Structure 1
Amino acid sequence: MLYRFIDLFAGIGGIRTAFEPYGHCVFSCEWDVKAQETYEANFGEKPVGDIRSVNEKEIPDHDILLAGFPCQPFSIAGVSKKQSLGRQHGFLDETQGTLFFDIARIIKEKQPQAFLLENVKNLRSHDKGKTFKVIINVLEELGYTVYSEVLNAKGLVPQNRERIYIVGFKKPLKFEFPQVPKEGPSLQTILEEDVDEKYTLSDKLWDYLQAYKEKHAKKGNGFGYGLADLNSYSRTLSARYYKDGSEILIPQGEGKNPRRLTPRECARLQGFPETFKIVVSNTAAYKQFGNSVAVPVVRLIAEKMVQAIEREEILQVVEEGRVEYATK
């Protein structure tokens, strides 16, 4: 069976890339103009812009909602005030003014079979855990059975990248996150053979980065550049990579300064296919790949989600504290 899905906070379509074997995208939304360019070049459609201006009633019906949404603080100060005034209070109210609210209102209106949300690992501890608690409460209040897990991509791509994934089902389905291998490919496997000299750090920048690291080392801090081990995995690629490339520098042997990754190497580091088109400047490309997802991890989650939907193994609470499963 093929599933209809929507792609919110789409970026350059990393989550969509992982889900395409299981269906087709019927709606996409991404506000960044440069990311829209890359998305359109690869998928043949330009995403809608600001999600806050999208009427949820006008979004096409879909089976699965996908969103790599930004993390924002939620205010829960208004709850007791509403209660004291005798007003009805729902968790949806608490998320007003945040981008998660837009996901929630779309889920409430369209009632998809399932959803996948992706965010930084720190979402769990953000605002002393309040943000994550509100998110889970909202999703459960909307009638979904919710699962969450932090997964590290380094067993599938040569990058230490931990992200939290939140999966939900309209039916109380049994679901287990995939087991990601502990060991994966080495950084060497994604490097290009012939790399332009422009990616090699200038003497001035290399001297600055070394001095900066030395200064912080004397203070007992671990700040500074990261010279990558080509036989292992890299640090996490971030959106700031375009600034100096300092978090992942590729050694080039004696007497030569290290270099940045190329945009194509960044695409490979995130598990994008070789056919993925890079149509923007290097600066924009670095930001886009740093903000994206590790595609192979999402592909494994997509497979598990589809299996859960099609197997339809229902959670049944037999007695307090014990859960059993029954297949339809």
Structure 2
Amino acid sequence: MHAAATAEPRLSPASPSDEMTLLTHVLAIYSVRDIVMRLHDAGYQDWTPQLLNRIRQGKTALPTLSAQEVLLLQNLLPTRPAHYDAPEFRFVDLFAGIGGIRRGFEAIGGKCVFTSEWNKEAVRTYKANHYSDPQEHTFNSDIRQVTQPADVSGDEAVYQHIDATIPDHQVLLAGFPCQPFSLAGVSKKNALGRAHGFECQVQGTLFFDVARILAAKKPPFFVLENVKNLKSHDKGRTFAIIMETLNELGYDVADADANAPDAKIIDARHFLPQHRERIVLVGIRRDIAGSRAFTLRDIRQHFPAEVPSLQSLLESEPEEKYTLSPHLWRYLYNYAKKHKAKGNGFGFGLNDPRNIHCCVRTLSARYYKDGSEILIDRGWDSVVGEADFQNVANMARRPRRLSPRECARLMGFDVPGSEPFRIPVSDTQAYKQFGNSVVVPVFAAVAQLLLPHIRSLKR
């Protein structure tokens, strides 16, 4: 292809097959329109959506690319971390979402060797931001393809299949979904020569798949994440089975018996201005010296000296499309007013960014619908009901929702001074992904706490 300026030399070494592989990777992540826009911005006007689609469909050969075109495409993919040549440890990332837990453990020198995530849109965002070269990393969609293979029968064979499929690792990370447990009604089964009672209790749940991997691979450490209500789910039965299973598999879970205050429940408000409580289960294999000494109470050592203000996370000139429409704002306003009259707590969360102590509600996966849990006050003046909406100047100051970029900052994916987190998906998908994710600095702190124990394995 040809740029508007002088032609550049081709990259060396390179081949048409290498360039096609590069373009294929980029097309799997970004929309055709997005790729064309980026190329046009760089002066490559010959690229069109029609051309890219014909190349993808095999109807047109890939034209010879200039060095700059190759570089532009390469820059759309994450680079290989420098420490991957000599990592501190290896880890796997299960139910990975967009990689929030991975970021914390990669930051302390870990190398991700296996990822599992079934949501195609989340995979796009994950691959746009996390190095996933198939030569040294395996990407899996449905973990049940590994833990419940259709063409493998018998417990011992299944465990051998898991062991052969998932690379060896020292840390298992999993933000597994919470589901009801169902009794399988079968006798205990043997797996690798040892009876596992959990095989009878947790079938039909995704935690069951995590347990099978722990049983087959026996990593020294794991970090599991879930919503705070996991403890009370199904009247506490779900959590009891989880803890019983992890104990049976030979792991000490940090602060296992803690109740109130429970060190396993960590609120993101200690790191960023968002109230977001999650349960964190850190397990250390029982045969490792000092396994019972680890406690999440020490996470306070890694609290930032000062929590960033909400104002510092906001864009200076957000797009107008994030301002609530008059119709939506009137609906939310009246809805909240109606429930307040009934003594209920339902309503929107209006936040004044000028308040340096402002801490917003939990960002949820439903945020794309109306943004009601976290609205940014733009100077709205509540007077007396309907009069609020008759004032033209007041209506011009309608609240707005957060932009996806601001959500990335509120969740700790965007850090000042570092490369911006890439968002290759639509706003709707981005809101869902950030709302389903973890707050990155929380797990960066957990990783820091665990690092000395990981390093002790090398001694």
Q: TM-score, normalised by structure 1?
A: 0.89
Per the alignment, residue 207 of structure 1 pairs with 330
2:194 is the counterpart of 1:194 = no
Instruction: Summarize deviations over 1:265-309 as a string: whole Å, max 9, x none.
Output: 000001113521011000000000000001001000001111233
**Corresponding residue pairs, total:** 307
Instruction: Note the 1:164-203 alignment, pairs <5 A.
Output: 164-170=279-285, 171=288, 173=291, 174-177=293-296, 178-179=299-300, 181=303, 184-203=307-326
Matches within 5 A, 1:8-87: 8-21=94-107, 22-45=109-132, 47-55=139-147, 56-57=162-163, 58-76=165-183, 78=185, 82=187
Given candidates 402, 406, 413, the residue that maps to 1:261 is 402
Give the greater-gyration-radius structure (CA). Answer: 2
The answer to whether residue 269 in structure 2 is matched with residue 124 in structure 1 is no
Q: Secondary structure at the match of 1:212?
A: helix
Q: CA deviation at 1:229?
A: 3.4
Identity %: 56
1:151-191 per-residue CA deviation (whole Å, 9 max, x = no partner) reads 00101111001000000011251202111649722211100
The one of 429, 442, 446 aligned to 1:297: 442
Q: Does 1:282 align with 2:405?
A: no
Query: What is aligned with 1:150?
Result: 265
Rounded Cα–Cα distance in structure 2 between residues aligned with 1:121 and 1:59:
29
Contact 1:39–1:47 (CA under 8 A) maintained in structure 2 = no
Q: Distance in 1 between matches of 2:244 and 2:427?
A: 40
Deviation at 1:77, TM superposition (A): 7.8
Q: More strand by proportion, 1 or 2? A: 1
1:70-100: per-residue Cα shift (whole Å, max 9, x none)?
001112484xx859xxxx7712321111000
Per-residue deviation at 1:54? 1.6
The letter of the residue matching 1:42 is N
Runs of 5+ consecutive residues of structure 1 not aligned to the other structure: 313-327
Name the aligned partner's letter for residue 142 of structure 2. D
Q: SS state of the match for residue 252, structure 1?
A: coil
Q: Is the 8 A contact 2:89 2:169 kept in 1?
A: yes
Q: Structure 2: how far apart are the matches of 1:233 and 1:258?
A: 17
Amino acid at match of 2:294: F
Q: CA deviation at 1:218?
A: 1.6
C-alpha contact 1:36 1:47 (8 A) present in aligned 2: no
Task: Name 2:246's counterpart in structure 1.
Answer: 139
Supply the AA of the counterpart residue of 1:151: I
User: Cα deviations across residues 191-231 of structure 1 (Å, max 9, x unaligned)?
Assistant: 01011100000000000001111111122110111101322
1:235 partnered with 2:235: no
Q: Distance between the aligned counterparts of 1:3 and 1:150, measured in 2?
A: 26
Match of 2:278 among 145, 151, 163: 163
* Equivalent in the alignment of 1:220: 343
- TM-score normalised by length of structure 2: 0.64
Counterpart code for 1:299 = A
Is the 2:230–2:239 contact (alpha carbons within 8 Å) kept by the matching residues of 1?
A: yes
Superposed displacement of residue 30, structure 1: 0.3
Which amino acid in the other structure matches residue 295 of structure 2? Answer: E
Segments of 5+ residues of structure 2 without an aligned counterpart are: 1-86, 133-137, 148-161, 189-194, 256-263, 381-393
SS at match of 2:368: helix
**Residue aligning to 1:251:** 377
Instruction: Report the counterpart of residue 324 of structure 1 in structure 2.
Output: none
1:117 and 1:212 map into 2 onto residues whose CA distance is 37
Q: Distance in 2 between matches of 1:155 and 1:82?
A: 46
CA RMSD of aligned residues (A): 2.0
Contact 2:196 2:248 survives alignment (8 Å)? no
3-state secondary structure, aligned to 1:47 = strand
CA distance in 2: counterparts of 1:168 and 1:260, whole angstroms? 38
Residues 223 and 147 from structure 1, CA distance in 2 versus in 1: closer, same or farther, beyond 3 angstroms?
A: same
Amino acid at match of 1:30: E
Q: SS where residue 54 of structure 1 aligns? A: helix
CA–CA separation in structure 2 for the residues paired with 1:92 and 1:143: 15
Question: What's the counterpart of residue 15 of structure 2?
Answer: none
